[in-house]
Amino acid sequence: MGYALPFTGTYAMLGESIVNGFELYLEQSDGEIDGQEVETVERDTEADTNRGVDVTRELMVEEQADAIVGPVSSSVAIAMMQTIENEASAIWLNANAGDYRVVEEGCLNYHFRTSFNDWQTSAPLAEWVYDNVADNVCLAYADYAFGQNSKNFFQKAFEEAGGEVVDEVGAPLGTDDYSTYLSDIESSGADAVFSFFAGSDAVNYISDFADYGLDAEMTQVGSGFLLSEDTLPAQGEAALGMYSLLHYTPTQETDRNQEFIGNYREAYDSSANVYACQGYDSAQAFAAAVAEAGSSDPDEMANALGGMELDSPRGSFRFNSETHEAIQNMYVREVVESDGDQPVENQVVETIDSVESPNWGCNLE
């Protein structure tokens, strides 16, 4: 099993969480899958497309990996597709990279999304926003592929639901100060704003939004990465009352999730996050594939996984047999005050059941 993940640079924390999640599952099964000891090899993609391709080839050809887990960045994933297809010697458990084009352009039998795609984290929120929040919105997004995809998917679904998009504002990735963008958002006159920002951009954007008092004028809704476990501690009370959509929320009160959270804390002395869940589910998928196929032959494993259901901390989900995307519940969460060690946390306010993405012309059946 080979990790093709970033262990250095901006995304290092995500890579580490995915590995932690995967190894938690291995530990719980004594390091064995289907009676065989699992050997793991780590390779650093450095979130660089060229490195990603080299690492993938190395893991498949030299290390003879049966499964590749990773990457974090979608541009790395798109660069890896060709190599996976050419070598055809391993299944690919995509534990984070969410660009829909991995499926649209790749449509690989070996590719399984144990994570999410950018349509899932934006479009299903549109109808809920229209019904519960506002019938007109302004769109705000980090101006790169994932941000553009997210706002386009949301816009389409929101207009289909009957809503109106009154304005849109794109800010460059890595913007430190959102003042001027916020004045555009404010002057749009919209009742709500749908946003896609992630990481430190999300921290700056949400903090500025509250600093300027816009939270009193309009409702903030967005993709789950806008208000996630890695940004909420820094956003703090500025994030209160905002809504976002994601496939996993650590505060979910199911037994399955609480058990996962508890085990994770015991093993790593830190809180599990969405990336850890994706890593954990990648391990579950690998184990299930081997068990069902009775071997580690990549074609047999891929056939076994298509349509298969997994019991995940996020709630059970299954792989679409046409696209190998996860068909999963999406959760609308609200940021509320917490009595835990952080001032605020996400609380699920609505579950959108078994969300199935478009197939983007990919049919593997």
Partner 1 sequence: MVETFLRATLLGVQLGMTLALIAAGLTLIFGMLDVINFAHGALYMLGAYFGAVIAVNLGSFWLALVLAPLLVGLIGAAIEVLSLRPLYGRNPLYHILLTFGFAIMIQGAIVQIWGGQARRIAQPDLLTGTLSIGSLNYPIYRLFVLVVSTVLIAAVWLAIDRSNLGILMRASAHDTEMVDALGIDVSKVFTSVFVFGAVLAGLAGVLLGASRSVNPGMGMGIIIEAFVIVVIGGLGSFRGAVYAGLLIGLVTAYGALIAPTLTDLFLFGLMAVVLMIKPNGLFGTTEAA
Q: Does 168 bind partner 1 (CB under 8 A)?
A: no
What span, in angstroms and rounded, lies between the C-alpha atoms of 89 and 68? 10
Interface segment toward partner 1; rule CB under 8 A; list 20-28, 98-106, 119-127, 234-242? 234-242
Interface segment toward partner 1; rule CB under 8 A; list 34-42, 92-100, 230-238, 333-341? 230-238
Q: How far is the CB of 143 from partner 1 (least distance, A)?
A: 6
Residue with smaller CB distance to partner 1, 29 or 187: 187
Interface segment toward partner 1; rule CB under 8 A; list 40-48, 150-158, 202-210, 274-282? 202-210
Q: How far is the CB of 290 from partner 1 (least distance, A)?
A: 33
Interface segment toward partner 1; rule CB under 8 A; list 49-57, 232-240, 278-286, 309-317? 232-240
Q: How far is the CB of 243 from partner 1 (least distance, A)?
A: 21
* Binding residue (CB under 8 A) for partner 1 from 31, 162, 189, 213: 213
Residue with smaller CB distance to partner 1, 119 or 181: 181
Q: Does 342 bind partner 1 (CB under 8 A)?
A: no
* Binding residue (CB under 8 A) for partner 1 from 27, 160, 211, 311: 211
Residue with smaller CB distance to partner 1, 204 or 323: 204
Q: Does 148 bind partner 1 (CB under 8 A)?
A: no
| Residue of 302, 283, 278 whose CA lies nearest to 84 | 302
String marking each residue 3-42 x if it binds partner 1 according to CB under 8 A:
-------x-xx-----------------------------
Q: Does 199 bind partner 1 (CB under 8 A)?
A: yes
Q: Does 195 bind partner 1 (CB under 8 A)?
A: no
What span, in angstroms and rounded, lies between the C-alpha atoms of 117 and 95? 11
Q: Does 72 bind partner 1 (CB under 8 A)?
A: no
The residues binding partner 1 (CB under 8 A) are 10, 12-13, 143, 169-172, 174-177, 179-181, 183-184, 187, 199-200, 203-204, 207-208, 211-213, 230-231, 233-236
